[in-house]
Structure 1
């Protein structure tokens, strides 16, 4: 049974617009309610072609397709062509229409459901991780063309007539008594199923539906964030027509700090005090914190500080991420700065010694033979072990002897 051609029934071209279809129905010569079946046929054709969604399905799958009153209870229409060779079974059993519709569904399923994510490194200081900050980051990306709303042209792409919108062409080849179906990508639409006419192309995007654009993204770095933590800006990646955009992801990279080191939720820093402060105590601003506050500390006299001592200041470490009032601890490692040589007279030395703890008694008997020596200042470089010059001399002599012996052996061999 021949398939109904709704365009022929209304007497319009397949490219006719909505106004032309409406006029064709309005002035159709057979538009007479008393005409019975003929009137119903015209009315049904107009009902399909005047509805953009029904018309698109009809153009793709024919009168028996989904939404056109086809017989398939599950909504599988019967258009033309298919996109998968395995659909030949359905085409042979139920006709090419079923295979085309199933192929179209498979093609849609293969389309990307989401754009790709874009990742950028974001350098931050320890101060910014402590206090939180907002950065404005410029990026280059593609955006849906505003001139054509991503359609590529004013009217958008039209259904390819060659493949009926399936993107594939199915040809039958006879091999004796056998009939083989061969599937290939439609050359006219390059497998897209739609064609954009040259005259309809958008001048702004040249028919691509997307344009290059620059945008500044507002990136919020919260208090307590860490090295390697990701900040996700949903849907801010490259845009494509009919595809949700991916995310822009910023990965935090902490710059080295001059005075502080982060260890998890704690902070570590080094502080140098004078010998006087180490012995007699102090009351002063020990350091300036990452938020600009001065950390004032009082150390009582007699509470001696030694080089390498580590002291803890509670609740002055890094804030917890999303719990900024919960903080770690601040650890201070002390170094004692001794005075330069010659700062004290012999008389003052005796006075100072009288105030210091007594010298320790001799713990071992004095040897019978003593050698008077002197301590001299030196650097770490001069303290490195050096090769002995005499050892080099012996090595050179050994080499000479080896060469001589080698020559004798050669003569003996001759």
Structure 2
């Protein structure tokens, strides 16, 4: 069987026999071949055997001890010729019958020169810490714009309030753990290659790192000797205005507790869903709007978009200001809030909103009468700004070739080139900026028009 036995049962390496039995009963019922459909039976049988094998090893104290030390379920010693390791474990490979020029101590000193011992001491100097609890949450762009409080129900292990983490009654007498000889630690040796092993120090699974054990009769009535009890509480995570997708919010010391260890944190990571209207680029917002050709030529006054906080944004363009394909309407201060723990600052400081204008031209043969075309020609200017060469040819009426075979296309059908770059030019306009109802945000935004 492959895989970590603790992971197969879904328990930690410090789990007691009661937790192991509980996990086994649950998984055995789930994967029992008689409890699944015909097409799931083959896969269930494989999983059932894995669960049964893991339970057989971990429920037996001697087999579990062997597995914790050597990382194998084989009852034989994984290193032939030696039953136990004393002193430097590399002596078994290099100490006896090895070269006089390169012995076991030299092999160990080789790694010492690479600061392996120094790193190990540094790690031991740091306080042990329980694992962090990781949570992934989907949020909307509206949540990141307005801010939000997310509440979750947390169930975690805390140190037993009755026995204060001893796992025993008040006057119970503890005995030295025979397995680790009172050290609370065990050595785990793992083969990483031919003639090469690694040695790590782990908590003793019998005394759970305390170095002491109590008889079953002395167990605390509340925690049953586990030293831990469950706590259920409500955790609150504050999403500040202007937060970004991918950011994490950390609540210190809210993970599982364990005696003698620093409590880990609960870390919530935000994942922003795609918005159907707005696209966020850092602190700016982008969106599209369509207008008919007549509005592009004559100006308009209309609600252009519903903002993330529900406000209707109304823009009035000045008469005579022509909006051209590719133009952007830039509204200052209507982008995303700049993230800050100061609520006033996040209200007053924002990015900008860019509205890309898509001009919808009329369909072919839009006119009702031919006279409509004449009226439009009389109204619209028809002089080109750089037509000197064309005018000269028209006057002479020479070298003119009539082309009748052509087709109309648009920008989406043009070929692309490796050096294409997007240029954005801005120009200012005295646009009127209105809201459907009073806006209490900071600053008075004035829209601009940017041409692309």
Q: TM range, normalised to the smaller chain?
A: 0.5 to 0.7
Q: Is the 8 A contact 2:296 2:359 kept in 1?
A: yes
SS at match of 1:319: coil
Kindly indicate whether residue 159 of structure 2 is the aligned counterpart of residue 136 of structure 1.
Answer: no
Distance 2:405 2:285 in 1: 46
Kindly indicate whether residue 121 of structure 2 is the aligned counterpart of residue 121 of structure 1.
Answer: no
Which residue in the other structure is 1:196 paired with? 214
Distance 1:187 1:262 in 2: 51
TM-superposed deviation, 1:376: 7.4
Could you give the per-residue CA deviations for residues 283-342 of structure 1, whole angstroms, max 9, x where no partner exists? Answer: 122211111111121101211111211221111111111131211111111110112233
Query: For 2:245, which of 207, 222, 227 is the aligned residue?
Result: 227
Which residue in the other structure is 1:145 paired with? 160
Kindly indicate whether residue 267 of structure 2 is the aligned counterpart of residue 243 of structure 1.
Answer: no
TM-superposed deviation, 1:206: 3.1
Q: Is the 8 A contact 1:167 1:190 kept in 2?
A: no
SS at match of 2:322: coil
Which residue in the other structure is 2:374 paired with? 350
Q: Is the 8 A contact 1:167 1:186 kept in 2?
A: no
TM-score for the superposition, normalised by structure 1? 0.55
TM-superposed deviation, 1:114: 3.1
Matches within 5 A, 1:164-313: 167-168=182-183, 192-212=210-230, 214-313=232-331
Kindly indicate whether residue 371 of structure 2 is the aligned counterpart of residue 339 of structure 1.
Answer: no
SS at match of 2:136: strand
Q: Is the 8 A contact 1:157 1:195 kept in 2?
A: no
Kindly indicate whether residue 404 of structure 2 is the aligned counterpart of residue 372 of structure 1.
Answer: yes
Q: Is the 8 A contact 2:177 2:212 kept in 1?
A: no
- Inter-CA distance 288–122: structure 2 relative to 1 (3 Å threshold): same
Distance 2:236 2:208 in 1: 40
Distance 2:154 2:335 in 1: 34
Distance 2:279 2:267 in 1: 26
TM-superposed deviation, 1:112: 3.9
TM-superposed deviation, 1:237: 0.7
**Which structure has the larger Rg?**
1
Could you give the per-residue CA deviations for residues 181-209 of structure 1, whole angstroms, max 9, x where no partner exists? Answer: xxxx9998587331122012235533111
- Inter-CA distance 296–156: structure 2 relative to 1 (3 Å threshold): farther
TM-superposed deviation, 1:119: 2.4
Distance 2:338 2:304 in 1: 24
Query: What is the CA RMSD across the aligned residues, in angstroms?
Result: 3.7
Distance 2:204 2:305 in 1: 74
Query: For 2:332, which of 314, 321, 327 is the aligned residue?
Result: 314
Unmatched tracts of structure 1, length 5 or more: 1-83, 87-105, 170-184, 385-414
- Inter-CA distance 245–379: structure 2 relative to 1 (3 Å threshold): closer
Unmatched tracts of structure 2, length 5 or more: 1-85, 89-120, 185-202, 416-452
Distance 1:249 1:187 in 2: 28
